[in-house]
């Protein structure tokens, strides 16, 4: 019997591609591809990868051509907003490709507050999300739909403001624009069709999803080891971020001291280590965790 393979759509090249492939790698899946290859087989699990433009991913998943896809929330939310027949659903929020959809206006122009957007023209590639936002603010404004280079619209005097993706803010600054308000916070999403797949395919989807969850939790988690006097333990344990019950081990030849080992499910910053040290901890080690499974 041939095993049914699932198909996952990933961005071929662009801001989502590297992190998407790294995530698969973290799940123990290796995608080997040549430069122009659009289709790759994964050896470790019955999964095929389709490498496409990100614009195609929501429709490929919605129509069932692909069983999974990784896409920016901005694009997913716009499709969901604009099309009644779009029923794909979010399986996981993946925490990378962070950006926001924001309204921006010329630095020294007349628009100072959201209310000033009334009766203006706003250039955007996200007309449905923008109009929904404007409606929520009781503002009527025209949208000018542009597919790219939205940031030049005010300079060309074809729009008064823009609604576009912002990450570092450098593009806005370079075009003498400033952010007025955020419409949507965005990150990469793992999406699937609403329809049920065959039990065999559902099983592969669930296995991949569990591995992704394990990889993402592990990335945020650290294994912390330290030494402490027993009397300082209550204070020290309180300082360990997101730790469940830590392991306490005796130290050879030091009856008043113990070693503490803990999995911290939140980032451990230098500040946290300094606070641990001030509370009496010594020999503090923070180690990365590669994989995790509950
Ligand atoms: O070729 P293909 O169609 O597949 O790719 P693309 O060029 O359409 O998309 P790509 O690779 O640029 O972005 C893919 C996804 O990454 C987006 O849908 C977002 O979810 C996410 N993302 C994260 C971004 C950015 N950061 C980003 N900075 N998408 C776009 N930008 C652009 C933005 O449009 C603006 O022009 O970068 C500029 C702003 O960046 P800053 O850093 O100057 O603020
Ligand atoms: Zn695109």
CATH number of the domain that residue 197 is part of? 3.40.190.10
Q: Could you read off the pLDDT of 239-284 as tens digits, one per residue? A: 998 877 899 999 999 999 999 999 998 877 899 999 999 999 999 9
CB 166 less than 6 A from any atom of ligand 1: yes
Domain range for 69: 6-96+188-218
Q: Are residues 89 and 199 in the same domain?
A: yes
Between β-strands 177-186 and 68-72, what pairing exists: parallel, antiparallel or unpaired?
unpaired
Answer yes or no: is 270 within a domain: yes
Residue 72 has pLDDT above 70, yes or no: yes
- For the Cβ of 53 lying below 6 angstroms from any atom of ligand 1, the answer is yes
Cα angle 119, 122, 124 (rounded to 5 degrees) comes to 155
pTM: 0.90
The 10 Å CB-count burial string (b at 16+, else e) for 215-228 is bbbbbebbebbbbb
Pair (64, 194) in one structural domain? yes
Are residues 202 and 89 part of one domain? Answer: yes
Find out whether 96 and 165 touch, Cβ atoms under 8 Å: no
- How far apart are the CA of 100 and the centre of ligand 1, in A? 10
Within a domain: 226:
yes
Atom of ligand 1 nearest to the CA of 52: 4
Q: What percent of the chain has pLDDT above 90?
A: 88
Q: Is the C-beta atom of 121 inside 6 A of ligand 1?
A: no
**How many residues in total does the chain contain?**
294
Q: How far is CA 70 from each of CA 78, 107, 148, 260, 262, rounded to the nearest angstrom? A: 15, 35, 21, 39, 33
Res 243: pLDDT: 77
Q: For residue 197, which phi and psi values (nearest 5 degrees)?
A: -95, 180
Residue 259 and residue 214 in one domain: no
- Asked whether 144 and 123 are in contact (CB, 8 A), the reply is yes
Model pLDDT, residue 60: 98
Percent of the chain with pLDDT over 70: 98
Residue 294 lies in a domain: no
| Residue 76: pLDDT band with limits 50, 70, 90 | very high
Choosing from 165, 186, 207, the residue where a domain stops is 186
Residue 277: give its domain's CATH number: 3.30.70.120
Q: Are residues 212 and 228 in the same domain?
A: no
Looking at the structure, tell me whether residues 272 and 231 fall in a common domain: yes
- In a domain, residue 1? The reply is no
Cα 34 to averaged position of ligand 1 atoms, centre (Å)? 24
Q: Which of 225, 257, 229 is nearest to 243 (CA)?
A: 225
Same domain, 70 and 203: yes
Number of domains in the chain: 3
């Amino acid at each position: 019997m041939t095993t049914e393979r699932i198909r996952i759509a990933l961005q071929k090249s662009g801001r989502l591609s590297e992190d998407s492939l790294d995530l698969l790698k973290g799940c123990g899946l290796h995608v080997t591809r040549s430069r122009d290859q659009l289709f790759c087989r994964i050896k470790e699990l019955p999964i095929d990868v389709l490498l496409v433009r990100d614009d195609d991913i929501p429709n490929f998943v919605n129509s069932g051509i692909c069983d999974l896809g990784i896409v920016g929330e901005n694009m997913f939310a716009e499709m969901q907003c604009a099309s009644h027949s779009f029923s794909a659903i979010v399986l996981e929020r993946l925490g990378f490709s962070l950006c926001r959809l924001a309204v921006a206006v010329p630095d020294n122009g007349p628009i100072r507050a959201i209310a000033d957007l009334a009766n203006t023209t706003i250039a955007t590639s996200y007309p449905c999300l923008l109009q929904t936002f404007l409606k929520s603010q009781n503002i009527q404004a025209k949208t000018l739909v542009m597919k790219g280079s939205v940031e030049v619209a005010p300079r060309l005097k074809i729009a008064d403001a823009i609604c576009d993706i912002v990450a570092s803010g450098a593009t806005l600054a370079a075009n003498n624009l400033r952010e007025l308000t955020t419409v949507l916070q965005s990150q990469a999403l793992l999406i699937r069709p609403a329809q049920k797949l065959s039990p065999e395919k559902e099983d592969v989807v669930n296995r991949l999803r569990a591995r992704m969850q394990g990889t993402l939790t592990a990335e945020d988690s650290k294994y912390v080891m330290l030494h402490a006097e027993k009397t300082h333990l209550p204070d020290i344990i309180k300082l360990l971020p997101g730790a469940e019950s830590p392991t306490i081990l005796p130290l050879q030849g030091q009856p008043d001291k113990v070693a503490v080992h803990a999995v911290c499910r939140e980032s451990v910053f230098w500040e946290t280590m300094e606070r641990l040290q001030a509370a009496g901890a010594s020999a503090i080690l923070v180690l990365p965790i590669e994989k995790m499974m509950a």
